[in-house]
Amino acid sequence: MAVLDADRVVAALRGAFAREAGRADLLRTAAERIRAAGAPYTSVYLYMLHGDELVLEAFAGRETDHTRIPVGTGVCGTAVATGLDQNVPDVRSISNYLACNAWTRSELVVLIRRGPKILGQIDIDSDVPNPFAPDEEAAVRKVADALAVLL
């Protein structure tokens, strides 16, 4: 079973939406609720697509210097350029990784899509190697799909 209880996070997002929370609130709620699942969720970043750049609009966990990432750059930019979610079990093994800190061991990027359009992504850093099994990835995708409807 996945560590992340996606249904609870989605319920919190729907609750916020019903209370007329704006985009910033929804994105912050998603970041905080996912991170609250605990290990392996070390830090959660919500990067949204603005033209050909990803812009950090909310996060929970460690701060990052990467507040704007061009499409095609790093793991995050590769997800948008290829249209594919990225599950990197060991960030030390890839050449296009943009490091934020010395402790991160793995990274998961799940795209937020509305139909064919990419709105942004949920980017998760973990200090644990290879923690994102298919059920864990599916849980994050549930949250991304809910955000696509509510944003």
Please tell me whether residue 75 binds ligand SME under the rule CB under 6 A: yes
DSSP H helices, the chain, are: 6-18, 23-35, 74-82, 134-150
Question: Which residue bears the tokens 């499409």?
Answer: 71
Helix (H), strand (E) at residue 49: strand 43-50
Question: Among 98, 119, 148, 150, which residue interacts with ligand SME (rule: CB under 6 A)?
Answer: 98
Give the integer Cα–Cα distance in Å for 104 and 94: 13
Contact window for ligand SME (CB under 6 A) among 23-31, 93-101, 113-121, 130-138: 93-101
What phi-psi label fits residue 115: left (phi over 0), alpha (psi between -120 and 50 degrees) or beta? left
Please tell me whether residue 125 binds ligand SME under the rule CB under 6 A: yes
Please tell me whether residue 70 binds ligand SME under the rule CB under 6 A: no
Report 48-67 residues binding ligand SME (CB under 6 A): 64, 66
Nearest to 66 by CA among 127, 112, 114, 125: 125
Of 31 and 100, CB closest to ligand SME? 100
Please tell me whether residue 151 binds ligand SME under the rule CB under 6 A: no
Question: Among 13, 27, 44, 76, which residue interacts with ligand SME (rule: CB under 6 A)?
Answer: 76
Nearest to 124 by CA among 142, 111, 106: 106
Question: Among 29, 33, 44, 45, which residue interacts with ligand SME (rule: CB under 6 A)?
Answer: 45
Question: Among 2, 71, 97, 119, which residue interacts with ligand SME (rule: CB under 6 A)?
Answer: 97
Give the integer Cα–Cα distance in Å for 70 and 88: 19
Q: Return residues touching ligand SME (CB under 6 A).
A: 45, 64, 66, 69, 74-77, 97-98, 100, 107, 123, 125
